[in-house]
Structure 1
């Protein structure tokens, strides 16, 4: 499982996407983009296809707002993927739509079968037990994730006003469990819930471990990462 602070939707160098594909075995991996959180925005889908058609892989898109697959075909399709790449947008809406269509159960089954799950923003939030989100307008917390990654996730930690203070307050107050705060430009890889690798495409970008402190506040620890090169 990879939490991304970037990728094709925000960057043109392709470093984080290349890093993701580097963790997939075999030739021409199947990479499925799931744009549910954006309401299957056509421009977002085209940006993914433009980026991944240029790579040595087989890109595809799973649309749930114009679903064409029955339950059996949907399961077969998702379990055949090497990478499930989830886009950004509204985390709460993503989780609700996935549960209606049974995708929450299918991505868990795919993960247990060896599929690499990854995503940016809402596509990073969804895997954890809880997350820091603007799904309801103002920044707040959501304790309704899939729970494939223990703890919580906060995206855009360094780039969106109020993220850092709001997430730290949610963790310090017990509204979210301890978790991972992701700067833009970071990639964090987890295996069985354990952090195994951190990479960055920007020198100042960091991953942070955030937990409640003894004095009622939050403790934040930066985790060093390997710099990606073009």
Structure 2
């Protein structure tokens, strides 16, 4: 549990490190503080004095906020019965670091089982997903259609060298029909869940968010069966 009374010790430590060393510096993690009021949603307003102290440390250390790709708020919790969202986790870098790693990007990843979202820092930037090769999914074994396709293909009277490839293609087509795009469904439901969290933090009913979280968790359980 963070001790607010010792936060000033962290600020002093960061400033001392800045004065002592002149190396390229990337500083990231849970700072348990926001820079500006719009980085907090729900609950009581954040202390202007606390935010100003954080901004002064950032300025004194010559830090630049690396921003984010993904979710704005990296922490969620309850305070006094209210849902609160904060951007507590972030990454800073000095000009020296950015001169050597100008493509550096920060990605905030969704998490439905922890109060903090993970942040991933990639000095080479964030690239798109490569084309995924065929792979047999464990969850297919729970459906009768999988066995039927494999038996039909291998018992076919016409056999040729690319039969395994044709079987794989047919399994992929069947999977899309039977399961849809699991990751697409998860992405869409996760976005709806994020919107519901914002709404609850602003006073909306909690039940809708609870139901969406259950749906997302069910999709995550199914996705966990995928290799």
Given the two structures, how large is their TM-score scaled by the length of structure 1? Answer: 0.26
Larger Rg computed on CA atoms:
2
Higher helix share: 2
Given the two structures, how large is their TM-score scaled by the length of structure 2? Answer: 0.27
Higher strand share: 1
